[in-house]
Structure 1
Amino acid sequence: MTSTCLITGASSGIGHALALYYAANGWTVYAVARSEDKLNQLAQHTGIKALPLDLTDNTALCSAAEQLLEEGVVLDLVLLNAGTCEYVDATDLDLAAFDRTFAINFHAVVAASKYFMPLLKASMSPQLAIVSSMAHFFPFTRAQAYGASKAAVSYFADSLRIDLVDSGISVSLIEPGFVDTPLTQKNDFSMPFLVSTDTAAERIYSGLAAGKQRIRFPRRLSIMLKLLSLLPYRLRNNVAARMKQ
């Protein structure tokens, strides 16, 4: 029996690589993104179905989930990957940038969890996977909006896992480091241990297949950030301040 998954943010970056990877491994993939043209190109691959959708539109999100339910679709995996990044100026905080970032990185994750989880209930091994980031491990310059949104996502996933423990739905938190995507290609700073989207897709696929509750990669960056977090608070802040120069 073919397994079925739904992947958000599938038009580019990690989501695009994930859709191709899951389809290549025999899954039926519902690829979600706002760009209908890009999704239609992606859907030319066997096993991929385009589902154009604005995840920040709760009404559209609810309607899409209801339509899938009416069609009898059973999802074995919901992989919430869509996200954005905007850097801000701490001396003149752009409130709209915070609104936009949290809208897709956090609020859309909560809404998608709400509306798509019912599609998991009939699965024999339902999984909800949520992509966050290592960015919230350490105070990076200009990342107030992005890092805060990812911290919220990680807490949401960990808390949700506790309350779903008796539901049969497993919750996995994915916290990648730097991945070579259209978003990171805009960065004007060094990105240590940068990995390709294909590598990210492979790591996520294998981690979820193994039932891991938390997936972090690359390991070297995770270890480095963990060690930095163990520094005395004042020293850690001094290191962060020097890194921005």
Structure 2
Amino acid sequence: MAKTCLITGASSGLGKATASLYASKGWQVYAVARSADKLAELAAKHDNVKPVSLDVTDSVALASWATALPDGQTFDVVILNAGTCEYVDVADLDLAAFERTFAVNVQGVVCCTRYLLPLLNKGQRPTLAIVSSMSHFFPFTRAEAYGASKAAVAYFADSLRVDLADTDINVCLIEPGFIDTPLTRQNDFDMPFLMDVTVAANRILDGISAGKSRLRFPRRLSFILKTLSLLPYGLRNKLASKMRQ
């Protein structure tokens, strides 16, 4: 019997690439996103992809969908990948941008966890994977909303792992750097060590298959940012300010 995974944000970018990869490996894939037409295109390419048009921030719709699943339906892997990025101007902080960013990146993850955690295939070492970002390792200009949301979801994943330590559920925190997707192509700054989305999807599949609790890629960027985060606080702030210019 084929294993089953569910991936949010599966209509484009990293989510789409990961859903396609799992499908190509013979998994039954539940592809979740708001864009029904893009999901239909994905499903047309893979017979084992089930399109699920849902907004991860809509707790009522998500609860209704989960309740309506056939009895006995479980998931071996759930990847909470749906996310958004909005940059802000400190001179006029856009409160709506913060609300939108946190609604998807944080509340969406919590909402999905609430309703999908009970559906994980107990006894088979299932994985709940949560996608954060390396952005929260270091303070970047105009990233107050995005970076803070990714820091929040990373803490959520780590805390969740503690509370699930007595179960067989593996909580995997995924912290990618710059991945070549439609979202990052909107950036107007240099993106060091930009990674192909297919390579990133393979890193996710391989890491989850190996039972990893944390995935960071590309490694070169991870090493640089973690090293910068170890600098004395004042020096780190000065360096961050110079990088803004």
Q: Could you say which residue in structure 1 is the equivalent of 2:24?
A: 24
Question: Which string of whole-angstrom CA distances, capped at 9 and with x for unpartnered residues, describes residues 80-117 of structure 1?
Answer: 00000000001111000000000000001001001011
| Amino acid corresponding to residue 191 of structure 2 in structure 1 | M
Offset at 1:71?
4.5
- Give the Cα separation in 1 of the matches to 2:52 and 2:123: 20
Offset at 1:46?
2.5
SS in 1 for 2:178: coil
Question: Which string of whole-angstrom CA distances, capped at 9 and with x for unpartnered residues, describes residues 146-203 of structure 1?
Answer: 0000000000000000101112111000000000111100000000000011011000
Q: Is contact 1:133–1:177 with CA below 8 Å preserved after alignment?
A: yes
SS in 2 for 1:46: coil
| Amino acid corresponding to residue 81 of structure 1 in structure 2 | N
Q: Could you say which residue in structure 1 is the equivalent of 2:190?
A: 190
SS in 2 for 1:242: helix
Whether 2:181 is the aligned partner of 1:159: answer no
Offset at 1:123?
5.3
Q: TM-score, normalised by structure 1?
A: 0.98
- Give the Cα separation in 1 of the matches to 2:175 and 2:124: 26
| Amino acid corresponding to residue 7 of structure 2 in structure 1 | I
Q: Which runs of 4+ in 1 moved over 2 A?
A: none
Offset at 1:72?
2.9
| Amino acid corresponding to residue 145 of structure 1 in structure 2 | A
SS in 2 for 1:91: helix
Q: Could you say which residue in structure 2 is the equivalent of 1:51?
A: 52
SS in 2 for 1:237: helix
SS in 1 for 2:231: coil
Q: Could you say which residue in structure 2 is the equivalent of 1:38?
A: 38
In structure 2, the CA distance between the partners of 1:10 and 1:123, relative to structure 1 (3 Å rule), is: farther
Q: Which runs of 5+ in 2 are unaligned?
A: none
Q: Could you say which residue in structure 1 is the equivalent of 2:61?
A: 60
Q: Is contact 2:140–2:240 with CA below 8 Å preserved after alignment?
A: yes
Question: Which string of whole-angstrom CA distances, capped at 9 and with x for unpartnered residues, describes residues 1-60 of structure 1?
Answer: 210000000000000000000001110000000000000111111211101101111100
- Give the Cα separation in 1 of the matches to 2:172 and 2:68: 26
- Give the Cα separation in 2 of the matches to 1:123 and 1:29: 20
- Give the Cα separation in 1 of the matches to 2:55 and 2:142: 27
| Amino acid corresponding to residue 19 of structure 2 in structure 1 | A
Matches for 1:204-215 after TM superposition, within 5 Å: 204-215=204-215
- Give the Cα separation in 2 of the matches to 1:52 and 1:173: 25
SS in 1 for 2:57: coil
- Give the Cα separation in 2 of the matches to 1:57 and 1:134: 27
Matches for 1:92-241 after TM superposition, within 5 Å: 92-122=92-122, 124-241=124-241
SS in 2 for 1:31: strand
Aligned residues: 244
Q: Could you say which residue in structure 2 is the equivalent of 1:82?
A: 82
- Give the Cα separation in 2 of the matches to 1:65 and 1:121: 14
SS in 1 for 2:182: coil
Q: Which moved more, 1:9-18 or 1:117-126?
A: 117-126
- Give the Cα separation in 1 of the matches to 2:209 and 2:79: 13
Offset at 1:121?
4.2
Q: Is contact 2:122–2:169 with CA below 8 Å preserved after alignment?
A: no
- Give the Cα separation in 2 of the matches to 1:41 and 1:55: 20
- Give the Cα separation in 1 of the matches to 2:199 and 2:76: 23
